[in-house]
Structure 1
């Protein structure tokens, strides 16, 4: 059974600036610059003001939680795709989709970037599914926690990018 997740990040920057960063190729290249195992591919699927970014990162078994190491054989490659639409008066919508090699895990979610009087709220909700008998549900919980960590790293990188 899929595990649902929901996260909210608050940024002290206007929605226009946050959206501009999220659709800026330089932001995404800077975002992964510190990870020697990550790559990024950038596309503009629906024209100006939109962006699709595909981030791929490799994790060695020793870097994974023990429960996952017991299931994964060899390195795990996680790929996620973030799609951002144009910014309107009420905000912008994004979609995140991902999965991994070495373990049958898939996740999908929607993001909503909304302006507030103090800055911007970035809310994400979705679900993660791991198709492994017996331990799949426990790994789904770990995967949801890992997605939360990725989103928090994205939020911190975005805040740092916007304050430079």
Structure 2
């Protein structure tokens, strides 16, 4: 059974500023350098017409993982994340897969105006196909994704301020 995820972040920066950051190759490399963990990489980056797609590889050291995840993975967690942004920067999709875990996160991200700034809402689902442990891992993944999105939002705010 899949676990639904919905996460909201807000920014004092307008939609177009946040969007321009999210599809900026330098921003992505800077974000990975700070938040990407072990062996972080911008694997691919393409912009064509009104569409930007990129693939990120991020790592989490085994020492920072809960015991249930350590036992399953037998080492570090490697996260493969593909994002695509379209429609003048207001909607995007995200797909996340993890090494050693038969599951994924799929979602849609909507960036919109909010109280003079912007807000970003990720809506999706986490599904892990492991009997008895799947539900625990889905909850763990959803929790970690929410924490990562909060950290990325903070990074984006600082990144934009430093370029203001």
TM-score by length of 1: 0.90
The range that moved more, 66-75 or 12-21, is: 66-75
Partner of 1:94: 92
The range that moved more, 48-57 or 122-131, is: 48-57
Tell me the distance in 2 between the aligned counterparts of 1:42 and 1:153: 22
* 1:6 to partner: Cα distance: 0.3
Conserved in 2, the CA contact under 8 Å of 1:12 and 1:118?
yes
* 1:117 to partner: Cα distance: 4.3
| Higher relative helix content | 2
The range that moved more, 8-17 or 75-84, is: 75-84
Conserved in 2, the CA contact under 8 Å of 1:25 and 1:42?
no
Partner of 1:57: 58
Asked if 1:37 corresponds to 2:44, the answer is no
- In the superposition, relative to structure 1, how do residues 7 and 121 fare at CA in structure 2: closer, same or farther (>3 Å)? same
Secondary structure of the 2:131 match is coil
* 1:33 to partner: Cα distance: 1.0
Tell me the distance in 1 between the aligned counterparts of 2:15 and 2:138: 32
Partner of 1:135: 133
The range that moved more, 101-110 or 33-42, is: 33-42
Secondary structure of the 2:72 match is coil
Tell me the distance in 2 between the aligned counterparts of 1:139 and 1:161: 32
RMSD, matched Cα: 1.6
Tell me the distance in 2 between the aligned counterparts of 1:162 and 1:140: 33
Secondary structure of the 2:151 match is helix
Q: Give the length in aligned residue pairs.
A: 160
In structure 1, runs of 5+ residues without a counterpart are: none
Moved over 4 A (4+): none
Secondary structure of the 1:74 match is coil
The range that moved more, 65-74 or 137-146, is: 65-74
Asked if 1:114 corresponds to 2:112, the answer is yes
